[in-house]
Structures are given as C-alpha cells and as structure tokens.
A and B are shown apart, each in its own frame.
Chain A
Amino acid sequence: MKRAQRNSVLVHVAAIVTSVVILAPFLWMVMASITPQRILITTPLQWIPDELDLSRYVQIFTGGSEGVGATFRAAMLNSIIVAVGTVTISMIVGILGAYAFARLKFRFRRAILMTFLASYMLPQIALLIPLYLILNTAGLLNTKTGLILVDCAIVIPFVLWVLSNYFMTIPEELEEAARIDGTTRLGALFWVVLPAAKPGLFAAIMFAFLLAWDEFMYALIFTSSDVAKTLPVALSEFAGRYTTDFGLVAAGGILAALPPLIVAVIFQRYIVSGMASGAVKG
C-alpha cells in the first residue's frame, strides 16, 4: 500500500510540474498584455506589475481604422467565417465519404483512401503559385470564399480519416436491423450511424476547427486586405510591426487563441473516445 501511495504522490507531482511548464509562458503572455509598456521593459522584470493597463484591449475593441483595432476585429470575423464554413463543408462531405470507406465494398477502396491521406503530405508551397493564378482568374483572390475552398482541401482528408476509422467501430448489426425495416443506406447513416458516432463526430469537428483556424500560408498569400485577412496573418503583421510593444501583440494573441481554446476545452473529452478506436485495429 505504501508503495502505491508513493507512486500516487510522484504522479501528482509530475502532473503539477507539467502543468506549470505548459501554463508558464501562456500566463506570462496574459500578464504582459495587461502590464504597462514601461514596466514590461524594466530590468529586473516585475513578474506581477503594480499597476494594470487594459489600454491594448480597449484599443483592439474600440480602435478605429488608423490603429490595429479595425483590422483585428475584421480579421476575427473573417477567421470565424472561414473556420465555420470550412468545418461545415468538410464535415458534410467527410461524413458521406467516410461512410463509403467504412461500410461499402468497392474496388480500389484502400488505394483511394490512401490517395486522400497522401494529399496531406503535399507541402502547400508546391501549390501556391498556380492556386494564386487560378483564384485570381476566378475572382476569388482576397475573398473568404476562396480561402474556404482551399482550406477544405486540407481539412477533408483529416475528417475522412478520423470518421472512417470511427464508423468502422460501430457494429454493422445496428444498421442492418434498421435496413431490414426498409430504411435506405443513407437513412441508416443519418438515423443509426451518426447518433452512435457522436464522439467521433466531435473529435472530427475539433480537429477540423483547429486546422482551419490555424491555417496560415494560404491566407498569407491569398489575402491582402481586411476583406478576407484571417487572424494568423493579421497577428503576424502585428508581431512584425509592433516589435516595441509586446503587450499589444500579446493581447491580440490571447484574443485570437480564445475561440480554439474554448472549442478544445469543451470537446477535449471526446478526443480520446473519438480517436481511441481510430488508432487501433477494431
């Protein structure tokens, strides 16, 4: 019993140390975002400032077009639209495709799935120049629609992979019972498979959202103004321009991290169950 107790203490200590390592840089960024500029650059560093400064948040939320405020708010809206659009399309398309991979027998099934997964290996840089020309011709350069289109090509293979693995773990008998009652395959997919696949669906949504929110290279090259610029691009510009005021970059970074953080914390309990069956032969 004593040994078990000692192990338990060790595990808890390790968990606390890990948490500190994970949280420390992030908490410093939070502090930096509300520390006045002159205190932020003093040596030795005041870890806890004696006065607080919320002016960067005020600037971001209310600032006009001459400052960072307008750009940041536009980028936040663009990011939300692009991410939600990408996730919605990828999930619909991915659910249909994953069902085919998991349940139907057809020639080249494995080869086709492998081709989808292999598309992930292509570096975006190898597609940039022609994609730029295509989007330009189609009038989709610097539009959210254009970004959603190219982002879907990144996200769909992931969704296909997570979902087809998960669908395979759902017993086929469930579906067969419904089909004997005269339900079509698509009916069975919607009324039987999807309700049973909730953890997999949530895991896929979380993956898709984080991927879409994080996408940088396409947005960097294909957007040029507040009309379509997403948060990662806007932030990289802040970080390049406001090198003297880290607090402003920190405040922007924290706000940009909030949506994915909220999604991840809400959905994190589904990651494990949604992937558990996915990673191992069922």
Chain B
Amino acid sequence: MVRSKRENQARLAFWLLIPAGVAVFGVIVYPILRTLLISFFEVTSALATDTPFVGFNNYLEVLSNSTFWASMGRTLYFTLISTSLELCLGLLLAGLLNAKLRARWLFRAIVVIPWAIPTIVSAAMWKGVFNAQYGPLNAMLSQLGIIDQYQAWLGDPTTALNMVILADVWKSTPLVAFFLLAGLTAIPNELYEAAKLDRASWPRIFRSIVLPMLIPSISIVLVLRTVEAFKVFDIIYVMTRGGPVNGTQTIAYYAYTTAFSDQNFGVGSALSYVIVIVILALSAIYLRLLRRSEMSLL
C-alpha cells in the first residue's frame, strides 16, 4: 500500500515535470553540447565548409590572448564591485523599506521603478546622463561648482567602467533590496522584543539577530547577482559597445564580438565555455555556502 502510493507519486511527478523539462532542457541541452563540439573545430564563417578539427587549439588561443585576460580582469572587477555595492546598499535599502514610514506604499512603489525599467532603457538613460555635451551630470556638477569644465564620463577607459558599474548599481539594487526585505519580514517580532528587553544596542541586534536570519536571502541574492554580473552584456552593448579602447569590454561582450563580428565561431565557442566554467566554479563555491545555511529545498 505504502509502496504503491510512492510509485503513484513518482509517476504523477514525472507527468507534472515533463512539460517544464521539455521547455527548458529541450532548448538548452543540444545547443550546449553542440557549442562544446564547435569549440574543438576551426569555424571561421557561418557558411564554412572546411572546418578542420583543432583539438584544444581554440582554448589555447583564448588563454594565450592578452585581450582575453584583460576582459576577464574587467569582468571580475565589475562583478566584485557591483555585487558588493548592490549588497551593501541593498541591505540599507531593505531596512528603509521595512521601517515605519508615512506613505510607505509610495516609497516602495518608487524603489521598484529601476527594477521595472528595462535594462536597455536604463542603459540608454545613463548614457545620456553621462554625455559629454548635454549630460545632466556635467550640468549639475558644473552648476554646483564641483567641476570647471564638462567631462567625457564615458571617454576614459577606467572612468567608463566605473560609470557602467554605477548604472548597474542603480538598476539592480532595488531587486536586491526587495529580496532582502522578504527575508527581513520573515524575522519574528518576538526576537526584536526580546532583544529590546535585554537592552541590546542596534549594532548588536543587527549582528546577532538580523544578519544570521538573513543569511539565506543574502546567499541567494549573492548567487543571482554574481552570475548575472559575470554575464553582463546588454548594459555594455548600449552604453559603450565595449569601448573606449576596450575599457568596458567584459568577457561576454568579448565572446559576442569574437563569434558574431569576427565570425570566429570556433574561438567564440571556446570563449563561451570558459565563461561557463568560471560561472560553474563560482556557483559551486556559493552552493556550498547555501547548503551550510540550510536553504529550503536546496
């Protein structure tokens, strides 16, 4: 009786999961294997008929290329800075969203705006804000007397990368904040009340109650944002096209230009596999953290 019930459940689960499985893995599995295959061949045009097997040569070409390492460095910088800024600001913002505010609904509706605005729109907007001729950032800073003359914020490689990070932080911090807010509201009120009875200070309450209870949410957000930041493409595509002098060329953008502008599909595929491997490595590290924090389901 018990046994057949289990079998029934397994059969039902199979039928319930089949549609999702087909829709997701039907799209993913063959392409990901095919890309792996392409990465071992020299394919230099979409219509190439002569595609010799080159073994690991494409990978060696990628790994011995200084442009690759420069893009990798920039991507890690982008990922590290934007994710940590978004996490810190997101924590503060989550606290603010959770605070007793007049017109809290209005505040929440305002905070949700950057999250809802499409990435491409946000990128085009920030490109305008940083514009060297008519950008309001220049206008504001010079009218406040902070700068003497208009700056080309997206004209210098290092500054441009930081400005792209700024745009990404504006866009993504609200998402982080709402995830953390969900975790915050799940903390039982009794814990705060007990801490108040003990006359615990706010930093103390944050460290011994809020932070430990938030670890699951923080871990999830960290994984999401790290992976997302490492794959960053669209905001770069619209704001800088990887320029100036490759100053904002991240690894995904580099793979895109290699495959689609240079039509070097073999090397492009090898590059995208390097991205897959790095993301898997990052995720493996995170998943260990997640499991330690006893996530539900994970």
Number of A interface residues at 8 Å Cβ cutoff, please give it: 105
B170 CB contacts on chain A under 8 angstroms: 21-22, 25
Q: Would you call A104 an interface residue if the criterion is a C-beta within 8 Å of the partner chain's C-beta atoms? A: yes
Known: A18-B93, A19-B107, A127-B35. A44 touches B139 (CB 8 A): yes
B288 to chain A, nearest CB (A): 13
A123 CB contacts on chain B under 8 angstroms: 231, 252, 255, 272, 275-276, 279
Q: Contact: A239 with B124, CB < 8 Å?
A: yes
Known: A106-B9, A149-B27. A235 touches B107 (CB 8 A): no
Q: Contact: B217 with A279, CB < 8 Å?
A: yes
Number of B interface residues at 8 Å Cβ cutoff, please give it: 99
Distance between Cα atoms of A41 and B189 in the complex (Å): 54
Known: A125-B275, A253-B125. A131 touches B31 (CB 8 A): yes
Of the candidates B120, B128, B139, the one whose C-beta lies within 8 Å of that of A232 is B120
Q: Would you call A8 an interface residue if the criterion is a C-beta within 8 Å of the partner chain's C-beta atoms? A: yes
B227 to chain A, nearest CB (A): 5
Q: Would you call B210 an interface residue if the criterion is a C-beta within 8 Å of the partner chain's C-beta atoms? A: no
Distance between Cα atoms of A11 and B187 in the complex (Å): 20
Q: Contact: B10 with A249, CB < 8 Å?
A: no
Distance between Cα atoms of A121 and B170 in the complex (Å): 23
Distance between Cα atoms of A263 and B118 in the complex (Å): 12
Known: A121-B280, A153-B28. A130 touches B10 (CB 8 A): no
Q: Contact: A217 with B234, CB < 8 Å?
A: yes
Q: Contact: A126 with B272, CB < 8 Å?
A: yes
Distance between Cα atoms of A90 and B23 in the complex (Å): 9
Q: Nearest CB to that of B221 among chain A residues?
A: A279
Q: Would you call A97 an interface residue if the criterion is a C-beta within 8 Å of the partner chain's C-beta atoms? A: yes
B80 CB contacts on chain A under 8 angstroms: none
Q: Nearest CB to that of A109 among chain B residues?
A: B13
Q: Would you call B63 an interface residue if the criterion is a C-beta within 8 Å of the partner chain's C-beta atoms? A: no
A124 CB contacts on chain B under 8 angstroms: 231, 233
Known: A12-B102, A96-B20, A279-B216. A272 touches B25 (CB 8 A): no
Known: A96-B20, A121-B227, A253-B124. A22 touches B111 (CB 8 A): yes
A190 to chain B, nearest CB (A): 13
B154 to chain A, nearest CB (A): 12
Known: A28-B136, A96-B19. A210 touches B115 (CB 8 A): yes
Distance between Cα atoms of A238 and B133 in the complex (Å): 19
Of the candidates B102, B125, B216, B238, the one whose C-beta lies within 8 Å of that of A25 is B125
Distance between Cα atoms of A282 and B298 in the complex (Å): 13
B184 to chain A, nearest CB (A): 9
Q: Contact: A263 with B120, CB < 8 Å?
A: no
B258 to chain A, nearest CB (A): 10
B246-281 residues with Cβ-Cβ distance < 8 A to A are 252, 255-256, 259-260, 265, 268-269, 272-273, 275-276, 279-280
A204-249 residues with Cβ-Cβ distance < 8 A to B are 210, 213-214, 216-217, 220-221, 231-232, 235-236, 238-239, 246, 249
Distance between Cα atoms of A125 and B237 in the complex (Å): 14
Known: A126-B32, A216-B119, A246-B131. A275 touches B20 (CB 8 A): no
Indicate with 1 or 0, residue by residue over A46-74, a CB within 8 angstroms of chain B CB atoms. 01000000000000000000000000000
Q: Would you call B24 an interface residue if the criterion is a C-beta within 8 Å of the partner chain's C-beta atoms? A: yes
Q: B-side interface residues toward A, CB under 8 Å?
A: 6, 9-10, 12-14, 16-17, 19-21, 23-28, 30-32, 34-35, 38, 93, 96, 99-102, 105, 107-121, 123-129, 131, 133-134, 136, 139, 142-143, 150, 170, 174, 178-179, 181-183, 185-186, 213, 216-217, 220, 227, 231, 233-234, 237-238, 252, 255-256, 259-260, 265, 268-269, 272-273, 275-276, 279-280, 283, 294-298
- The contact sample of 15 A-B pairs, CB cut-off 8 A, is A25-B129, A28-B136, A43-B134, A96-B20, A121-B280, A125-B259, A128-B272, A165-B297, A210-B115, A220-B237, A239-B127, A253-B120, A271-B112, A271-B178, A271-B182
